[in-house]
Chain A
Amino acid sequence: DTGVSQDPRHKITKRGQNVTFRCDPISEHNRLYWYRQTLGQGPEFLTYFQNEAQLEKSRLLSDRFSAERPKGSFSTLEIQRTEQGDSAMYLCASSRLAGGAEQFFGPGTRLTVL
């Protein structure tokens, strides 16, 4: 059973640039989640997909952030016009549709905005 994978693992960018992250969930998982984690805090929910439908988006998510899951498999998270405050670990998780929907996390993408 292959776990959740994320790419890239690290990204350093300059303020104002656009970045895109990719997440590949566990193959039989229908649900995919994006979270953001800063130092000393727990992960903070950003958005969630069930298959290809984006069903929930955090009010904290500015319009510079967009996420897609076009074929219900992998997902991308894009941040436009990055700001220093976007520096964080971006985590992807996936879960089954049924049952307790335990979420399993990928290794994360660490973003540093200079």
Chain B
Amino acid sequence: QKEVEQNSGPLSVPEGAIASLNCTYSDRGSQSFFWYRQYSGKSPELIMFIYSNGDKEDGRFTAQLNKASQYVSLLIRDSQPSDSATYLCAVRSGGYNKLIFGAGTRLAVHP
């Protein structure tokens, strides 16, 4: 079982719709959760982080965390073609500082 799992996609949504990206993790000791956006050929860019159960909103992005279900998600409202990228979920566990990444979900927003 992979430590962090994401659906590889592609997830295709029309412009203006809500894109929902999901991630599950195996380590119950995980404390911090991150979403990175990665355009093709570029490095990951941090877009959201969440540490507590519930929702966290930042502009068009909402991160949701459910530690009991070991599930974290990212919602992108009013999706734009410029949101088309791979979204990486990352988890930091326990006393360790390294991030464990999922393989990413490719999002395609079509006009």
Contact = CB atoms under 8 A, between A and B. Distances in A.
Interface of A: 31, 33, 35, 40-45, 48, 50, 55-56, 58, 89, 91, 95, 100-108
B97 A100 contact: no
A45 B32 CA distance: 16
Contact of B99 (A40, A103, A106, A107): A103
Nearest to A40: B103
A24 to B, nearest CB: 14
User: Which size bracket describes the interface of B in this complex?
Assistant: 20 to 34
Q: Is the interface of B mostly helix, strand, loop or mixed?
A: strand
B101 A43 contact: yes
Contacts of A105: 36, 43-46
Contacts of B101: 42-44
A104 B46 contact: yes
B96 A102 contact: no
